[in-house]
Structure formats: structure tokens, C-alpha cells
Amino acid sequence: MNIKRVLLFLISIMALHPLRADEGMWVPSYIQQKIEDMRGKGFRLSAEDLYSINSSSLKDAIVHFNGGCTGEMISDEGLLITNHHCGYDQIQYHSSVEHDYLKDGFWAMKRDEELPNPDLYVAFLEYMEDVTKKVLAGYSESMSEEQREKLVADNSRRIVSRIERKGKGIKARVAPLYYGNQYFVYVYKVFTDVRLVGAPPSSIGKFGGDTDNWMWPRHTGDFSLFRVYADRNNEPAPYSPDNVPYRPKRFFKINASGISEGDFTLVYGYPGRTSEYVTSQAVDYIANVSNPKKIKLRTIRLGIMDSQMERSDAVRIQYSSKHADVANSWKKWQGEMKGILKMNTVENKRNYEKAFAVWAKGKPEYDGIIGKFADLYSQAEALSLVRDYQYEALNAPEFLFFAAGDGSDSALFYKNYYKPIDKATFIALMNEYDKDIDDSYKSPYFKEKVAKAGSVEKLADEIYDNDSLSLAREFYMATNTFYNSTVKPRLDSLNREINMLYRKYMRGQMDFARENGTGKVFYPDANSTLRIAYGRIEGYAPADAVRYKPFSTLEGIMEKDNPAIFDYNVPQKLREIYASRDFGRWEENGTVPVCFIATNHTTGGNSGSPVLDADGNLIGVNFDRVWEGTMSDIVFDPDLCRNIALDIRYALFVIDKVADAGYLLNEMVILE
Ligand code: ARG
Ligand code: ASP
């Protein structure tokens, strides 16, 4: 085949995989570009209803919750709903042996029982604006990537400080889109007096635990309630008993009238990070090297925790939150790997890159990019593996990290520390590091210490049996200094070059698509800024002969009920309500709806995001994705990628019937 025929052939393959509807996390201020498609799929509002700089719009009801999750206003008195797992730290903060709010739940029965949280903030987006010209003022092509970075940082700082001067609680942040082809400034109003209003017991809010995490069918009542407080002028203010509930520009009305498969859905929130436009080598590294290694290391850690947690309730309580943290990514990476392999993404990207390279021939801007990627990635791979082991092995034993600190968190640390777990972890992980990392990249201190002690086990005895803070600190410092001074600078400089190449490649992919008339519209990768994803309620077929329905109900909770299994121990109150069938206005077809899935493209950070219907009313609260679709951070499959949402009616049912906090419903607007 000649080049032209190869190209035509590859383009015809690509045309079979156009960007399918439902993929994408769209920039709210540009949503006009998608509104026709959205309305064709059932949406009934305008672009201005979603995002407006002139008047209030739905975006004014949404917050970035503590920097990592999303939350939304559900009353004109500052009432906020987010996930239980997003409010977990606050619930834990207020918990003690006498008041175990994690275990038993917490409900303020009146305003002055709402609990302030010292470390909690929520940010409302005031506006976003393209500042590319200002950010790149003074840039010239001859600059190195490092000089460019410095210029961008300096210009951004000026933009930010000019804006932040303007008002109380105003915070600005400049973020790159499309690998720095574009820059936006995001301007927020930040509130720090945010109080805990309610949380169900973990046996509802975390029902299914790690067993059901990342999976469908799901029955988790993953929500908690907070209230935003402001000063007398409705402006942000530090906690004060004189503060009053914040009156938001907008809050969501709740649609409790029922939903059906096929209904339009929109998720409006703060997705954290995706990598949809990376090359075949990058995906190959993730699916075939990095994920398998990191999974192996975490499997070891989880195994050690499990064996000790099984033996003692005290240890189980100490380590349950840590175990959940380690297990969350561990489980996600497995689904992601599997999804990438199933989608044949490495091969598909390789074919695409071949076609791109042919197209790029003779175009000075793009010619040779693919070859350069290959070169840079092959240099970066070994270093990336060292980085992965630095974080997942060397730095994983907690005692080391603690010893390296100033000891001020000592009481907190020892409260949840069980030496046999940490020592066994040290031994297992250091042996893996020793075995898997090439000698030339291995910390010389590590080699020397192990040789001197005789073995990793003996070194562990020296550190742990003597509780030697000084040796632990020395170990942590020496291995990190080696990494930071020897490995990291080389990796950073390669990544800088790779990023610069991606900036070109991103433009190239757009030009390539435009010239070939594929009609593909490119959304920027997630970067913890506000985005819109739209789709519909839909089941999926995860395996041969299996098809999942999109709704789960209280029946499923009772089917899973088992007092002997911690994750499935239904609270007695819920059992009683179930037995009496006292479902009140939340009843549907003889039961209560609990969760649903939809085709919205979401990622970490979208937890707590409002799931809206075609009229912009709240039907659910996003909290997870299905395991078979977790590759959506890298490649989206419309057949398998589903977000999981709590049906808002289950939250209302729990507030009303389980918590007897029905008074909270009075401040909501519930459409039935
Ligand atoms: N998988 C969800 C997310 O990535 C929920 C995690 C919290 N729940 C848990 N059982 N670990 O955040
Ligand atoms: N559970 C995730 C979160 O906490 C959401 C996801 O990754 O789908 O943001």
C-alpha cells in the first residue's frame, strides 16, 4: 500500500470511532457550542441558564468542596449536600467514643446544633475568563520550556493578585487548558464557616464499603449535609456565632417525581484529572507497567492490614480509613487496566499515531512529533518506575514519614498506629524495591544500610524494635534526598519536554481532525475546574449474558443485609422501616429508589456533583463510577462507562424516616 492508501484506510477506521455522544467534560462558559446537541437529547434550558456572567445561573448553586469534591446548595438558607465520603473527615473530626457520628450518624435538630469545622472551606465560582494573552505576555518562540513556565507563573501571579485585592474571600487561580494552549482564570468566593448539619450512619452512608466500592449494583446512601454561613452582609467571614446562613444566588430545586431509563442527565461539578489525549506509549506504561506494579505493592499492603484487622477490633477501627484509602486506587487501577486492554487502546492509539505521522509529513510544526514522543518516553520510563516505587514503596511505611516530621502530630499518629502492620509493610515493600528497581537507580543509602544490617528484615528490626525515630528519619531523608536530587530533576526535565510536545500535539490532533472532516470536538482534560458532562440514564452489559438495570432499590439493601458482614450490616431502624413498609412519600413501586447510573463522563472530584434533569432540577448526587468503566480517565467507552449517583429521593427518605430530621425538608423546594 502506498502512503495515501494507508492514510485513507486508517482514517476510515477512525471514522468508525468518532467521539461518541456522552464523552466529554465541557467548559461552562463555552457550553453554547454544545447546546444544540444537548437540546436534541432532551435538555430544556439555555446556555445562559447554565452559565451566565450577567445574571444568576445554575453554576451559582455549585461549590468546590474543600478543594477535592463538589457540593451544591439545596435551599436558600445555605444548605449544602455532598457525599458522605467527602464529608468523612469532618464527621470523624466531631466523633469521639461517646459520640461516634461515623458509626451512629449525626443530625442537628436545630440551627445551633450545627457543628463548625476548622479546616473546611467551600468555593463558589464567580466567573471564569480566558487570559491566554495576559499569561503569555512577553513570550517568544525562542524561550525554553523552563523559561516559559517561569513567565507563565509570574504573569499568573500578577493576574491573581490584582483580582484578589477586590473583595473579601475572593480567590483566583490560573489554570492551563489543552496543555497550555489556553489559560483561564477562575475567580471564586470562598466561605470558611461551613457547619456539619447531618450525616447518616456509615452503615447507610458507606453501605457496601470497599466490597461494593467502584461497583454496580450499588446501595450506598453516600451523602452528608452542611450549611454555609456568612456575615450580616452575606459575605464570607471566619466562624462566628453571629454569622447567619448564607443566602446563595441560586439553589437547586429537587425533582422527586421519578426518573426513567433514557432520561437526560447533566453532571455539573469539579472533575480532577484526566489524560484523554496521551500517546500509545503513555497508555502502554499505565496499563502494562505502572498499574500492575502499583497494584502488586498495594495488594501486599492490604494483605498485611487485613490479616491484622481480622484479629482485632481495635486494629480494625484504627486502620479502616487507611485501608479504604489504599483500597480505593488499588481497585480503580485494576478496572482501568482491564478496560484499556479490552478497548485495545494501545493498539488503536498506535494506528492513530501512524496516520498522524503520515499526515504531519512536511508540516514543519508537526513533522516528527510522534518519533520525539517515542524517544522521550523511552528515556522517561525507567525514571517513572523509580518515582512510582518512591511513593508506593519507600514512602509507604507510616513510621518513616512520621519520624521525618516535627512530631507535633504525635498523639494523632500513635492513635491509629499498630507497629506490627507497619513493620511487616516495611519489610515487604523494601524487598520489592530492592528486587524491582535497577541498581543504577537504587538509593545508595538504602543499599549500604541493607548490606550493613545483613537484610531488609534485620534493618526493620533496628528501626522498629527500638522505635528508632532517628534511624527512621535518616532512612526517610536519605532515600528522598536521593530521589529528589538524582531522579526527579531528570524526570521533571523530560516531562517538561513531553508537556511541550503535547502542547503541539494537541493542536496537531485538532488540525488533523479538522482537515479530515471527522467533526471531532476536543474538550480539555479535567483540571479541577468546573465542567459540564451530559448524557442519559442507562444500564449496561458488563459481561457476556449480563445486563444491568440502571436503578437500585431498598430491596437490594435488604437482600445484602447480613449482620455478620461489617459492610452489609443494615441499621436496625432501616430494617424496621422496611418491615413496616412505612416509606411515606418516597415510595415508588412498593419500594424506595436508592441509586442510579448514567452515561455522564466523570472522574475523581465529581463526587458530590449535582446530577440534574432536563429542567436543571436535582435528581441525584454523583459519587462513583462502575468498575468496568474506570478507564474513562484515559479512554471513554459509551457502552461501559457509567457514573453512579445517589437517587436524591433516598437521601430525602433517610433524612425524613431514618433520621427523623424531616424539618430539614421544609427549607427545600421539592417538586413531586
Ligand atoms: N470510589 C469512590 C471515589 O473514588 C468512593 C471512594 C470512597 N469509598 C470507599 N469505600 N473507599 O472517590
Ligand atoms: N469517587 C470519585 C470521587 O470521589 C468519583 C469518581 O472517581 O468517579 O470524586
| pTM (whole model) above 0.85 | yes
Q: Burial-class residue 558 by CB neighbours within 10 Å (0-12, 13-18, 19+).
A: middle
Rounded to 5°, the CA angle 467-469-470 comes to 130
Dihedrals phi, psi of 389, to nearest 5 degrees:
-75, -30
Q: Burial-class residue 234 by CB neighbours within 10 Å (0-12, 13-18, 19+).
A: middle
DSSP-assigned states of every residue in 48-79: HHH--SSS--GGGGEEEETTTEEEEE-STT-E
Angle (deg, nearest 10), helices 313-343 and 291-311: 160
Dihedrals phi, psi of 537, to nearest 5 degrees:
-70, 125
Instruction: Say if residues 357 and 370 touch (Cβ distance below 8 Å).
Output: yes
- CA 328 to mean position of chain CA atoms: 11
List pLDDT tens digits, range 386-409.
Answer: 999 999 999 999 999 999 999 888
Q: Which three cell numbers stand for residue 3?
A: 502512503
Compute the distance between CA of residue 237 and CA of residue 235 in angstroms, rounded to an integer.
6
Which pLDDT belongs to residue 98? 85
Does the Cβ of 85 fall within 6 Å of ligand 1? yes
Return all residues near 88 (Cβ < 8 A) that are at least 6 apart: 102, 321
Mean pLDDT of 340-352: 97
Which pLDDT belongs to residue 227? 98
Q: Count CB-CB contacts under 10 A for residue 39.
A: 15
Q: Which three cell numbers stand for residue 493?
A: 526535565
Compute the distance between CA of residue 614 and CA of residue 252 in angstroms, rounded to an integer.
13
Chain-wide mean pLDDT for the chain?
A: 95
Q: How far is the CA of 13 from the centre of ligand 2 (A)?
A: 33
Which pLDDT belongs to residue 4? 60
Does the Cβ of 377 fall within 6 Å of ligand 1? no
Compute the distance between CA of residue 255 and CA of residue 44 in angstroms, rounded to an integer.
15
Q: Which of 17-26, 356-365, 388-397, 613-622 has the lowest mean pLDDT?
A: 17-26
Instruction: Say if residues 616 and 45 touch (Cβ distance below 8 Å).
Output: yes
Which pLDDT belongs to residue 627? 98
Looking from the CA of 128 toward its CB, the CA atoms found within 13 Å total 22
Q: Which three cell numbers stand for residue 70?
A: 463538589
Does the Cβ of 609 fall within 6 Å of ligand 1? no
- Nearest CA owner, ligand 1 atom 2: 624
85 an active-site residue? Answer: yes
Q: Count CB-CB contacts under 10 A for residue 97.
A: 5
List pLDDT tens digits, range 481-530.
Answer: 999 999 999 999 999 999 999 999 999 999 999 998 887 889 999 999 99
Answer whether residue 438 shows pLDDT above 60. Answer: yes
List pLDDT tens digits, range 260-271.
Answer: 999 999 999 999
In 165-312, where does DSSP find H-type helix?
202-205, 209-212, 280-285, 291-311
- CA 577 to mean position of chain CA atoms: 34
Instruction: Say if residues 61 and 610 touch (Cβ distance below 8 Å).
Output: yes
Compute the distance between CA of residue 315 and CA of residue 226 in angstroms, rounded to an integer.
30
Q: If you ran DSSP here, which 8-state letter would residue 485 be given? A: I
Mean pLDDT of 631-637: 97
Return all residues near 669 (Cβ < 8 A) that are at least 6 apart: 75, 251, 253, 254
pLDDT band at 316 (very low <50, low <70, confident <90, very high): confident
Pocket test for ligand 1, best of 85, 273, 603 (most atoms within 8 A of CB): 85
- Find where cell 511541550 sits: 500
94 an active-site residue? Answer: no
Which pLDDT belongs to residue 638? 96
Q: How far is the CA of 85 from the centre of ligand 1 (A)?
A: 7
Angle (deg, nearest 10), helices 291-311 and 369-389: 20
DSSP-assigned states of every residue in 395-421: T-SHHHHHHHS-STTHHHHHHT--HHH
| Furthest C-alpha separation in the chain | 78
Dihedrals phi, psi of 57, to nearest 5 degrees:
-145, 175
Which pLDDT belongs to residue 434? 98
Q: Which three cell numbers stand for residue 318?
A: 484504627
Instruction: Say if residues 524 and 533 touch (Cβ distance below 8 Å).
Output: no
> What atom in ligand 2 is closest to the CA of residue 83?
4
Mean pLDDT of 363-391: 97
DSSP-assigned states of every residue in 414-434: HHT--HHHHHHHHHHHHHHHH
Instruction: Say if residues 349 and 449 touch (Cβ distance below 8 Å).
Output: no
Mean pLDDT of 162-190: 96
Which pLDDT belongs to residue 317? 82
Q: If you ran DSSP here, which 8-state letter would residue 243 be given? A: -
pLDDT band at 1 (very low <50, low <70, confident <90, very high): very low
Which pLDDT belongs to residue 97? 77
Q: Which of 5-9, 23-27, 32-36, 456-460 has the lowest mean pLDDT?
A: 5-9
pLDDT band at 559 (very low <50, low <70, confident <90, very high): very high
- H or E stretch covering 151: helix 145-164
Compute the distance between CA of residue 491 and CA of residue 430 in angstroms, rounded to an integer.
22
List pLDDT tens digits, range 648-669.
Answer: 999 999 999 999 999 999 999 9
Does the Cβ of 335 fall within 6 Å of ligand 2? no
Q: If you ran DSSP here, which 8-state letter would residue 175 be given? A: E
Rounded to 5°, the CA angle 585-591-597 comes to 100
- Find where cell 472530584 sits: 605
> What atom in ligand 2 is closest to the CA of residue 68?
9
Answer whether residue 161 shows pLDDT above 70. Answer: yes
List pLDDT tens digits, range 220-229.
Answer: 999 999 999 9
Give the active site residue among 222, 422, 624, 647.
222
Q: How far is the CA of 263 from the centre of ligand 2 (A)?
A: 22
pLDDT band at 92 (very low <50, low <70, confident <90, very high): confident
Answer whether residue 16 shows pLDDT above 50. Answer: no
Based on its alpha-carbon atoms, the radius of gyration of the chain, rounded to whole angstroms, reads 26
Compute the distance between CA of residue 87 and CA of residue 221 in angstroms, rounded to an integer.
13
List pLDDT tens digits, range 98-119.
Answer: 889 999 999 999 999 999 999 8
Q: Which three cell numbers stand for residue 71?
A: 457540593
Please report, in angstroms and rounded to a whole number, the separation of the first and last CA atoms in the chain.
63
Q: Is the peptide bond before 217 cis (omega within 30 degrees of 0)?
A: yes
Q: Give Cα separations from 494 to 284, 376, 381, 558 (angstroms).
A: 18, 7, 10, 54
561 an active-site residue? Answer: no
Answer whether residue 19 shows pLDDT above 70. Answer: no
Q: Identity (one letter) of the amino acid at 256?
A: A
Compute the distance between CA of residue 345 and CA of residue 141 in angstroms, rounded to an integer.
34
Nearest to 594 by CA among 653, 640, 644, 554: 554
